[in-house]
Amino acid sequence: MSKTLDNLGVSAFCESMAMMVQSGITTDEAIRLLQSGGDADGGLLTGALAVMKDHADAGEGLSASMRASGIFPEYALQMVEAGEDSGRLEDTLFRLSRYYADQKTISEKLRGAVTYPAAMLVLIIAVLVIMLTMVLPAFTEVYDRLTGSMAASTFGYLRWAYGICWAALILMVVIAAGLVIGLWMWNHGKRGPVEKILRSNGLCRRLLESMGMFRFTSALGMFLASGEMQDEAMDRSIPMTDCAAVEEKLARARALMDEGNSIATAAYEEGLFEPVYGRMLLAGERSGNLDSVLGRLSDLLRENCGALVDRLVGIVDPLLSGVLMVTVGLSLLSVMLPLIGMMNSIG
């Protein structure tokens, strides 16, 4: 199968499996029960469950059956495999369910942060096209009829109106084209150039890094809870960030671990988290509750990602609205000034 189950689907599957495993149902029987329950997502999970059932009946574990279905993300497969190896499959599945539910929430916020500005850009472009093709030509024709041929001052005002609209239209089209190209590159695995551009803005840079740290912290907590050693958990969690800048910081922290430091000490020394959170990690490690502290940090980072997205939308929204109002206002003022002058002359 070429399709991959979305975040919400993975979350629902993991939660259902976790509840059945918690009830003492074996994984092969749990797969059979899910298969008999039907599927409302167009048959993607139904077909996958049929494949999983065949592999489970052949004696393969849950992770191997999920991998054979071809619809689950690699991260989920690795986590389930680690949970099976450590004997903590139930806890791992519950954590995966929450992780993918959080990913769904953040993805929806990001989609909204992109969709609204895109809609505003389309609206601005449409208004400017109407101004250039209908409103300004109509004023030009009216002035031509009133004066026979436009006076130099009237022509100058209209030229300014046309110039303002054309400049704004070109700018908006360039921004829209850049947004489309950037989204295409981001969705097709060419994030490097896009990430470099976004990092030039302080707010976007903090958002990218916060999202990267959220993914890393969630992965690290789940790997440690699944029984992985700290070094192995760190190595497997770093690629989950999808952020080059965060990976560089984590690589430096990993080097500190090679020098004999614990994972919490390395994170504190490298400044991966705010100082107060770094001390929380140290305290959690000393008390044997490191995975619990990482879970709390994941919640805080998720909330921070949501706040940064809301702040970004709060900046872009009035900015685009301001561009639209200023452009249309100046254009209308430019074409109205000659009319005001004519009315004063008549009066």
Report pLDDT for 82: 79
Residues 186 and 219 in one domain: yes
Residues 179 and 35 in one domain: no
Contact indicator for 98, 89 with CB cutoff of 8 Å: no
CB burial of residue 18 (10 Å; 0-12, 13-18, 19+): buried
pLDDT per residue as tens digits for the range 307-337: 887 787 777 777 777 777 777 777 767 666 6
The confidence band for 148, taking pLDDT boundaries of 50, 70 and 90, is low
Residues 145 and 61 in one domain: no
User: What are the structure tokens assigned to 96, written together?
Assistant: 């995966």
Residues 129 and 268 in one domain: yes
Contact indicator for 277, 300 with CB cutoff of 8 Å: yes
Residues 24 and 163 in one domain: no
Residues 18 and 132 in one domain: no
CATH number reported for the structural domain that contains residue 278 in this entry: 1.20.81.30
* Alpha-carbon gap, residue 305 to 106, rounded angstroms: 7
**Within-domain flag for 134:** yes
Name the residue range of residue 14's domain.
7-72
Task: Give the global pTM.
Answer: 0.69
The confidence band for 228, taking pLDDT boundaries of 50, 70 and 90, is confident
Q: What is the DSSP string of 126-151?
A: HHHHHIIIIIHHHHHHHHHHHHSS--
Q: What is the mean pLDDT of residues 283-311?
A: 82
| Range of weakest confidence among 69-73, 126-130, 333-337 | 333-337
Residues 339 and 310 in one domain: yes
Q: What is the mean pLDDT of residues 244-260?
A: 87
Q: What is the mean pLDDT of residues 189-197?
A: 71
Report pLDDT for 115: 78
Residues 51 and 147 in one domain: no
User: What are the structure tokens assigned to 101, written together?
Assistant: 């539910």
* Alpha-carbon gap, residue 291 to 86, rounded angstroms: 15
Report pLDDT for 41: 47
Domain termination site, one of 72, 103, 118: 72
Report pLDDT for 151: 53
pLDDT per residue as tens digits for the range 23-51: 888 888 888 888 776 554 446 777 888 88
Residues 41 and 146 in one domain: no
* Alpha-carbon gap, residue 161 to 62, rounded angstroms: 67
The number of folded domains in the chain is 2
The confidence band for 78, taking pLDDT boundaries of 50, 70 and 90, is confident
Q: What is the DSSP string of 301-333?
A: HHHHHHHHHHHHHHHHHHHHHHHHHHHHHHHHH
**Within-domain flag for 1:** no
The confidence band for 136, taking pLDDT boundaries of 50, 70 and 90, is confident
Average pLDDT, the chain: 79
